[in-house]
Amino acid sequence: MNLTQKSLIASMVLTACMACSPAPSASFVAAPNDTNNTANAPLSAADARAFLAKVEADIEKLSQPAAHAAWAYATHINYDTAKVNTYFNEQLSVILAKYAVAAAQFNDVEVDADTRRQLNLLKLSLEIAPPADPTKAARLATIGSDLSGMYGAGKYCRDEQTCFSLVEMSSQMATSRDADLLLEFWQGWREVSVPMKPLFTEQVGIANQGAVELGYANTSELWRSKYDMPAADFPKELDRLWGQVEPFYEALHCHVRAELSEHYGADIVPLDKPIPAHLLGNMWAQSWGNVYDIVKPEQEMNVPDVTAALAELGYDEIKMVKQAENFFSSLGFAQLPETFWERSMFQKPEGREVQCHASAWNLDDKDDLRIKMCIQKTGEEFNVIHHELGHNYYQRAYKDQPMLYRGSANDGFHEAIGDTIALSITPTYLQQIGLIDEIPDASNDIGMLLKTALDKIAFIPFGLMVDQWRWQVLANEVTLEQYNTLWWELREKYQGVMAPVERSIDAFDPGAKYHVPANVSYTRYFLAHILQFQFHQALCDIAESKEDLHRCSIFSSEEAGKALNDMLEMGLSRPWQDAMETMTGTREMDASTIEAYFAPLKTWLDEQNQGRQCGW
């Protein structure tokens, strides 16, 4: 659900393909070790344009077959599809790394703004930059593969006969209220990451050499340079946004801690300390929706049962997707192509293994749009379908941009668009499409808003601190011995969450989160959780909604649809600030819309927290 890329390899294709431009007659340097450049003449703007054309031509030869290989593997997992997918993955990884490093040759060449943007985006397309030294580059690739394999194969064994996968433990942590069992699984999963620590440290050292060769001080600066502002300013911008959310988060934290303390006892959940991380219904305490039953309002809530309504009205998987398409059609978007219905995967096929994780695909960067889901006929899946189609319509909106610009304005925008659409699945919308007969009155909103806040607002500080930790590590600002200490310092600072037991200096708890050993940046999820509410408010204003923000749906507003499409069409062609201004009228991200969206819940939380000790 939260992945917009088709797969790792397809994501690389989308961020590496170059804009078409005619190659000039002048020679150019195709890669650092090539010797095409005539008489070693200084590189020119014409060389840069020719270089970009060469990159596009080479990558285009692999991009579509690689995308189809990735799709084949995701929808029919077997030995052969795995081999083919791995082959294309490796080939595109090599060529992308080669050209990202080669782009640094033009760092000091005077070029037009469009060429400079393309060169910068090519360099920034790498999360981990391999050095030019082939031995070191090969070692970096091996470490990355080893770390991913260690995480993927990880399990906790209580004894020789009884072992648990992450999926099994996560399921237990979502539903069990046995504090001892929760602690056992929490500790058990973190044993998986201990052997990763020396490999991760070695990886940081090699990757920093690669970042220097690209023209950055280290990998931390490389990552922080992806957001159309000075790298040193970006963390300050994130802290500014967090400052807008923090008061509401503290009120939510105070209520949740008090209710957990009442449930488990003050000896397990003290009222003057951070919340123990194993009790929040999630292996990483990153979202808290699974403890709703403990912290929910006492009064009965009349919440629409979408799952029951879907069953009663005979919705099957296709009809659910058709209804989501109808949402976008009501905004003025063209219908999805016939190939979408022919080639998407809506159900788990009989007799073969597939990746059921919901995702949105565009295999040719034009019109071959698809979704991949094993749809369950539930209200939650109904939301997910709207979210995934949000990605598809974004992909189609920027399809006419040059190849490098076929992506979201920054990595937070794609996820934010999907979530923005999902925010419009309100009781009003459900009534308009005939899924419910009556709209519950406002007295029922607290339960809905609390559940949303437990999932979305509780996540925000976690979404912030993962890369706050990683940036310091990648900049060599902390020693190996300080890795775990810093992790928990940041978790307590931002989340008010603590390790339930003392952690050893040898522990590597960050590695227990997939995105750390896999080197997937995490700030995109923080940004998405901020932007979706800002986008929702802007679109509701354009739609001239008279409803409270949390009850607003932009369904049937062609004015809102046009404003949305105008932003989506820009893709990556301009800084994200320009895209933001197109729809919202401002060039700044603004988290104050969260306060407006959750205003009734904030009032209720303040009432519940009267007389409680808040903070940590």
Give CA–CA dist 137/90, Å, rounded. Answer: 13
Q: Is 231 left (phi over 0), alpha (psi -120 to 50) or beta?
A: alpha
- Check if 202 is active-site: no
DSSP states of 310-328: HHHTT--HHHHHHHHHHHH
DSSP states of 148-195: HHHHHT-EEESSSS-EEEHHHHHHHHHH---HHHHHHHHHHHHHTTTT
Bridge partners (DSSP) listed for residue 370: 361
- Check if 68 is active-site: no
CB atoms within 10 A of CB 40: 8
**Among the options 255, 278, 387, 414, which is catalytic?**
387
Pairing verdict, β 497-498 and 275-276: parallel
- Check if 525 is active-site: yes
Pairing verdict, β 275-276 and 163-165: unpaired
**Among the options 514, 515, 518, 569, which is catalytic?**
515
Considering only the C-alpha atoms of the chain, give the largest distance between any 2 of them, rounded to a whole number of Å.
Answer: 81
Give CA–CA dist 247/67, Å, rounded. Answer: 44
- Check if 278 is active-site: no
**Among the options 202, 308, 357, 380, which is catalytic?**
357
- The residues near 34 (Cβ < 8 Å, ≥ 6 apart) are none
Give CA–CA dist 536/529, Å, rounded. Answer: 11
Classify residue 420 by its DSSP letter: H
**Among the options 66, 67, 103, 358, which is catalytic?**
358
Closest to 372 measured CA to CA, from 401, 349, 403 = 349
Q: Is 299 left (phi over 0), alpha (psi -120 to 50) or beta?
A: beta
**Among the options 253, 278, 391, 536, which is catalytic?**
391
Give CA–CA dist 40/37, Å, rounded. Answer: 5
- Check if 264 is active-site: no
- Check if 253 is active-site: no
Six-digit token string for 233: 């300013």
Closest to 369 measured CA to CA, from 2, 117, 4, 1 = 4
Burial of 225 (0-12, 13-18, 19+ CB in 10 A): buried
Give CA–CA dist 230/221, Å, rounded. Answer: 9
Give CA–CA dist 46/52, Å, rounded. Answer: 10
Q: Where is 307: in which H helix or E strand?
A: helix 306-312
Whether 147 and 203 have beta carbons less than 8 Å apart is answered as yes
Sign of dihedral through CA atoms 339, 387, 317, 353? Answer: positive
Strands in 450-510 per DSSP E: 497-498
Q: Which residues are catalytic?
A: 357-358, 387-388, 391, 415, 515, 525
